[in-house]
Amino acid sequence: MAKKSSKLQWLITSLREDMNWWVIEVSENIPWDLDSLGIIDPKQWSFLVDLLDPLREYGLDVDIVEEAFIPYAIDKDLGDQKIRLVKSSDSVLESEEIQFILPDAMDDDETGPFADFLDHITTLRVKLLNDLIDFEKKVSISEIEEDLRDELSNQFFEGKNLHYFTEITSILDYTPAGYSLDDDDDDDGDDKSDDEEKEIVEDIPDLDVPDEVIPEDDTMKWDEEDEEDEEDLEEVSGPPDLPDEEEGEKESK
């Protein structure tokens, strides 16, 4: 059965002050508050894929990942930090195209494909932590969910809209207080990620505000006059040459 959210053939997204992209207009009516509908940008998605990679060893189901997200390609830059996106049929994991990724959570954020994905990666994160860290007592799924619920609730009470990127990374980066994972083995991967990030940034429309050009006026002529005065001083090499002693004696006679 086709996903209800798949009828969103195009989206318009806007970059806000928090440097996250948010959906502000869609092709169809949906029962969703667009003020809180975030979308994952290409740079963020590349980062998430890197975080998902270690979970493959613990049983990551790529079908669950593919079902949980809808890819969108860049159609055109609308200006004013807005981009129009069109639905893509590419894989979210295997595509080499630059894509924005929308979690499939608009119809039911508690039992839909995205909710299944969150449950899946939470379970795998628990397996990874218990495998790599020697806990006195093994970490449980309920512990992670309670810690994350408190963390995300704090953001909500601070008046911040919870972006999907934050929600996912909070799980994939989770480590109990007082413990840490050794990241020394990830040094080689960092160089590769930096190269991929540069390619992604180059393909996203440049939304930076151009530098303001200040028109010239009479006050700027002071700089030019100062430069001319300095050049005149440099041309004066020292006191005038004095006559030789012999020439001075002849003249005196």
72, 88 contact by CB (below 8 A):
yes
pLDDT (0 to 100) of residue 162: 86
101, 11 contact by CB (below 8 A):
no
116, 165 contact by CB (below 8 A):
no
Three-state DSSP class for residue 178 = coil
d(CA 253, CA 250): 5
| C-alpha dist (Å) from residue 156 to 107, 136, 153 | 21, 33, 5
pLDDT (0 to 100) of residue 53: 96
22-25 — which CB contacts under 8 Å span 24+ positions?
22/161, 22/163, 23/102, 24/82
pTM attached to this predicted model: 0.70
The per-residue pLDDT string of the chain (253 residues; one tens digit each, 9 = 90 and over) reads: 344 445 689 999 999 998 999 999 998 887 677 778 999 999 999 999 999 999 999 999 999 999 999 999 999 999 999 999 999 999 999 988 899 999 998 765 677 899 999 999 999 999 999 999 988 889 999 999 998 888 777 766 666 778 999 999 999 999 988 888 865 444 444 555 555 555 555 556 655 444 444 455 554 554 555 555 555 555 544 555 545 554 545 454 4
Other C-beta atoms closer than 10 Å to the C-beta of 117 total 22
Residue 45 in tokens: 């998605």
Nearest to 171 by CA among 144, 207, 142, 191: 144
Q: What is the pLDDT of residues 115-173, one digit of tens each?
A: 999 999 999 999 999 999 988 889 999 999 998 888 777 766 666 778 999 999 999 99
